Chain A
Amino acid sequence: MAYLNVSDVTLSFGGLKALSHVDMKIEPGLITSIIGPNGAGKTSMLNCISGFYHPTQGDIHYKEKKLTHASPHQVSSMGIARAFQNLELFSGLSVLDNLLLARHQNLKYSFLHAVFFFGKASRVEAENRGYVESVIDFMELEPYRKSLVGNLSYGVQKKVEVARALTLAPDILLLDEPMAGMNQEEKEDIVRFVMDIQKERNITVVLVEHDLGVVMDISDQIYVLDFGEVIGSGTPEEIASNPKVIEAYIGED
């Protein structure tokens, strides 16, 4: 059985089928991309995995554990982190506090420790601050550490979004269009980060992306969705020569 196993997942909203009978196997240590035209169900798929939607039919298993009906905070505590497509940051807080919030599950001290802020609370906070700093270092966010997230530029906010998901110390990182709306330089930056995340931190990456060039370059495995169905899967070479995929993207000639 695969690491993260999506089997026969169907998601319908009334009569509309966002996903129908989707099967996916995500292998550890690889970059798996999900591509497809607009409205193909890519984000719905991520929402199903991260617990924001629950499949109408079918199951999702992670390391033999069933997470079909788990809520987002349960999924994230199992080690699956998620970065959002539209920025969902805590805009009234600094970059540092945004990342510290992602350490919520690791800050293990009681309420009384917190109120008096002695001993354990102070120590645990400092330790986790150390971890947060390592992520800030990794994502090159040092200049923005203390600035309010709401005041930062779009490109930096996207980076904070990825950094926040990374601060959860996940085994699997779900990235929802991390490069949308960025210029070439910023895109290359993010691509470098995604590859570093996989290689240096040994995190399995699931990437939803529109930029086919990027996807073909960095993915180990690709799933193509169209109208909620998987129309092709395999290595980038296999996908590039798959007639169904070409038809979905370019149309019949």
Chain B
Amino acid sequence: MSANPWLATGNFYTTYKQEQKTFFTNLDRSVFTFFLVILYAWPLLFPLGNKYMLIVDNILIAIVAVMGLNLVTGFAGLISIGHAAFVGIGAYTIASFCRTIGDSHILITHLWPLLIIFSGLVGAVFGAIVGLPALRLKHLYLAIATLSFQMIFEWTIQFMSFFNQGQTIFVGRVFWFTGKVGRKDHYVFWYFVILTFVVLLGFGIRNLLKTRYGRSLIAVRDNDRAADAMGMNPGLTKVYAFALSGFFAGVAGALHAYVYRGVGFESFTLHESIGYLAMAIVGGLGTLNGSFWGPVAIKFLDLQVERLAETAGQYLPAGMNLATALKPLTFGLVIVLFLMFEPRGIANWWRIVKSYMKMWPFRY
């Protein structure tokens, strides 16, 4: 190997291990590291107001959730319309702790990283249970089964006094090595935490896709008869796919609970589920980088629509609320346009740009 470790040109693999590397050239690795450093550094250099930092946090949480949804719907091909409910399971795991041991118990304020992982595991268990119909059902019928889970979740939360009938359950402020994380630093602090989770989970998926545990997902999507003949148990693989997506959703839910410092049922409704599905479609189903593009695009669109409505509101009668009308409209329009013109999502644009850059300045 290595004619020039910085460029792909002239380098040949001589062992199979070399081919497993995540970054093929030093240039790839440096660009990625640089990008990562920028992601960690910018909130310190250009501090944003709390309002916008919350939106950024929201995007990152959605990225975690959509990564999970992409595993089950994009890679394993099983449509899940109950993803917000899984996110809710994660959030309500934290809420249950708050209800039983108090919202400022040392477990919640100091051992929060463990608690977040634990919420992910609870999400995985529920994912596996909801995935059980996948042993028998396929396609739309399975989607309806996940929809029923969403309904059961909403009803359970709204009718159990333990969950405060869906009203907000408070979560205490957490501690870091520097002491209690105050009101001023709250959203920046959680930005770093969620970003760390996104990076770790992203690498996790990337590694998983190189192994049997990732390939088997794609196998059941493309052809579950052949997958069976190749020695995989397709039923178990589907249940495992749901469990995996449940884990990501659970982690996202726990992060949501901590960032908002409270859990209320309205963040985990069917509407949110469809939102996650839209993010996965717009980003690009069955791609890892699609899970990043989708949430960013949809949340950014939301923000712009809100801004537009605000500007237009100055010239309209006071009774009219343009934002409530425009939001669902643009949201639906974007999904339809993507399904029609770019069903492979933004990830496909990224692929095109990358292959163009590879050859630049030559065309072929």
A100 is an interface residue with CB less than 8 A from chain B: yes
A116 is an interface residue with CB less than 8 A from chain B: yes
Are B228's CB and A126's CB within 8 A? no
**Across the interface, which residues of B come within 8 angstroms of A37, CB to CB?**
none
Known contacts A115-B207, A116-B207, A125-B20: A88-B226 contact under CB 8 Å? yes
Interface of B is mostly: helix
Are B226's CB and A89's CB within 8 A? yes
Within 8 A of B (CB), among A142-192: 164, 168
Known contacts A77-B231, A93-B218, A168-B230: A104-B211 contact under CB 8 Å? no
In the bound complex, CA of A81 to CA of B216 (Å): 18
**Across the interface, which residues of B come within 8 angstroms of A133, CB to CB?**
16
**Across the interface, which residues of B come within 8 angstroms of A91, CB to CB?**
222-223
Digit string of B213-238 for contact with A (CB within 8 Å is 1, else 0)?
11110110111011111111110000
B204 is an interface residue with CB less than 8 A from chain A: yes
A105 is an interface residue with CB less than 8 A from chain B: yes
In the bound complex, CA of A115 to CA of B19 (Å): 17
Which of the residues A88, A93, A168 comes within 8 Å of B231, measured between beta carbons? A168
B208 is an interface residue with CB less than 8 A from chain A: yes
Known contacts A73-B232, A88-B226, A122-B17: A104-B216 contact under CB 8 Å? yes
| Shortest distance from the beta carbon of B207 to any chain A beta carbon, whole Å | 4
**Across the interface, which residues of B come within 8 angstroms of A168, CB to CB?**
230-231
Are A117's CB and B210's CB within 8 A? yes
- Nearest CB in chain A to that of B221: its residue: A92
Chain A contact-residue range equals 35 or more
Count of A-B contacts judged by CB separation below 8 Å? 107
**Across the interface, which residues of B come within 8 angstroms of A77, CB to CB?**
231
Interface of A is mostly: helix
A121 is an interface residue with CB less than 8 A from chain B: yes
Among the 9-residue stretches A14-22, A28-36, A60-68, A106-114, the one with 4 or more Cβ atoms under 8 Å from chain B is A106-114
Which of the residues A71, A73, A114 comes within 8 Å of B207, measured between beta carbons? A114
**Across the interface, which residues of B come within 8 angstroms of A93, CB to CB?**
215, 218, 222
Nearest 5 A-B pairs (CB), nearest first? Answer: A117-B207, A90-B222, A114-B211, A126-B16, A72-B228
Q: Which residues of B contact A (CB under 8 A)?
A: 15-17, 19-20, 204, 207-208, 210-216, 218-219, 221-223, 225-234, 286
Q: A104-B212, A114-B213 are in contact. List 18 more A-B contacts (CB 8 A).
A: A73-B233, A76-B230, A77-B231, A89-B226, A90-B222, A90-B226, A90-B227, A92-B222, A100-B215, A101-B232, A102-B230, A103-B212, A114-B207, A117-B210, A122-B17, A126-B16, A126-B17, A164-B230
